[in-house]
Structure formats: C-alpha cells, structure tokens
Structure 1
Amino acid sequence: MDLSATGEPVIVQEDTQVHVGIDIRPGTLTLTRNGKDFAVYHALVEFASVHGDPWVAQEAKFSAKGPDGKSVALTADLLNEACDGPRAGVPAAIWKVVALAATSAGDVGITYAAPNRA
C-alpha cells in the first residue's frame, strides 16, 4: 500500500439530527393502536442536538406487521409540546428502544440518558 497518514481523525457531526435504525427481534415488541396489535421489526430513532446542547430523542418510527400481516409504519413523538422534555405517557418499552438506538449511535458522539419520569 502506497499510503501514509498523519493526524488523528475526528468525526464531526455537522447536521444537528441523526437517524439511527435498529432491527427488533420479531415477537419481542408489540405496539397497540386503536385496539389492534402490531409486531415491530424495525425502529428508526431521530436524535437532535441544538447549539451543542445534549442530544435528545425527538421521534421514533416503527416498521411493524399488523394483524392482517401487512407492513405499517407507526410514529411516536418523544418530545412534549414545548420541546423541552419528554412527552408524558410514552411507554417504557419505547424508551428502551431509544436507549438501544443511542447505544448504536455512540460513534457519532451521541450520549443519551432516559428521561426521568415522575
């Protein structure tokens, strides 16, 4: 190989949003909407950092199979209306998915802690 290198490379995240996709083992997460159960097989979590503030999870999009076997997309908004904290009523299992996605995103500088739910 005719290459040489100097310096210490650093990843710079210029965009203030990062989308992290993770595959979910079938049968381990079921979301219910309007009385119908949906078996989740993939999640895409959107994280954001504004002006260097800590990363926060904004939204989780789920790919799931419905009772009829057809694929559907389900979205969970994770920030409250004022965008200054977590939305009330988000199931703990969804926050676990967010934590798993944050772990996967560690190499772009995302550090994440689940919100305190009083």
Structure 2
Amino acid sequence: MDLSVTGDPVLAQDETEVHAGIYLQKGTLTLTRKGKDFVAYHALVMFASANATPWAAQRVKFTATGPDSKAVEVTVDLLNDSWDGPRAGIAEAIWKVVALAATAAGDIGITYAPPGRT
C-alpha cells in the first residue's frame, strides 16, 4: 500500500450528532412488522445533543434478515413528534439496544439512560 499519513487524530467533543453501530448476535432480536419476522443483526443508533444538552437517541436503523432471507432495513424513530421526549410504545428491547450502542460510543462522552431510568 502506498500511503503517507501525518497528524495525530483527536476525537471531537463538540459534535452535535453521533452514529454508533453495533453488531447483534443473530437470533437474539426479532422485529415483527405487518406479521413478518425480521432477525436483526446490526443496529445503527443516531444520537444528538444540541447546545450542550444531554445526548438523546433519535432513531435506530436495524439491518435484518427477512422471511425471504434477504437483508432489509427497519427504522424506529425514538423521539415523539414534538422532539421533546421518548415516543410512547417503544419496546424495552430497543432501549437495551440503544444503551448498548451508547456504551460502545462512551469514548466520545455519550452517557445515556433509557427513559425513566435517569
């Protein structure tokens, strides 16, 4: 490989949005939509923080295998329509995925607790 690199990378602490991806052990999380089961194997959680406010999880994009064995993407919006709190009816297992992603992204200063556990 012909590559030259200079500099010393530093994580930016003033980011307002962070995406944290995690791989899930296949078979540990099944999403059901319109009566069809999708086995999730990857989750990409989008966190945001504006004006030094605490980090909030905005959405999760799951990559899953559908009943036809093809990969699909299932997105779950986590914030309510006014963007001031969690959306009602989000399954506990999804909040666990968010907490796992926050832990994985902890090196950049994300601290996170699922709604009702602060």
What is the TM-score of this pair, normalised by structure 2? 0.88
**Paired letter, 1:55:** W
Cα distance in 1 for residues equivalent to 2:34 and 2:14: 39
Cα distance in 2 for residues equivalent to 1:19 and 1:10: 17
- Show the counterpart of 2:16: 16
Give 5+ residue unaligned stretches, structure 2. Answer: 1-8
- Show the counterpart of 1:3: none
Count of matched residue pairs: 109
Task: State the SS of the aligned residue for 1:13.
Answer: coil
- Show the counterpart of 1:25: 25
Q: Which aligned runs of 4 or more in structure 1 are off by greater than 3 angstroms?
A: none
Task: State the SS of the aligned residue for 1:62.
Answer: strand
Task: State the SS of the aligned residue for 2:102.
Answer: helix
Task: State the SS of the aligned residue for 1:116.
Answer: coil
Cα distance in 2 for residues equivalent to 1:49 and 1:61: 19
Over the matched positions of the two proteins, sequence identity in percent amounts to: 65
Deviation for aligned residue 1:76: 0.2
For the aligned residues, what is the CA RMSD? 1.5
**Paired letter, 2:110:** I
- Show the counterpart of 2:62: 62
CA offsets per residue over residues 53-103 of structure 1, 9 Å max, x none? 000000000000000100000000000001000000111100000000000
Give 5+ residue unaligned stretches, structure 1. Answer: 1-8
CA offsets per residue over residues 11-38 of structure 1, 9 Å max, x none? 4333300000000000000000000000
Task: State the SS of the aligned residue for 1:80.
Answer: coil
The 5 Å alignment of 1:21-100 reads 21-100=21-100
Cα distance in 1 for residues equivalent to 2:71 and 2:23: 15
Task: State the SS of the aligned residue for 2:98.
Answer: helix
- Show the counterpart of 2:5: none
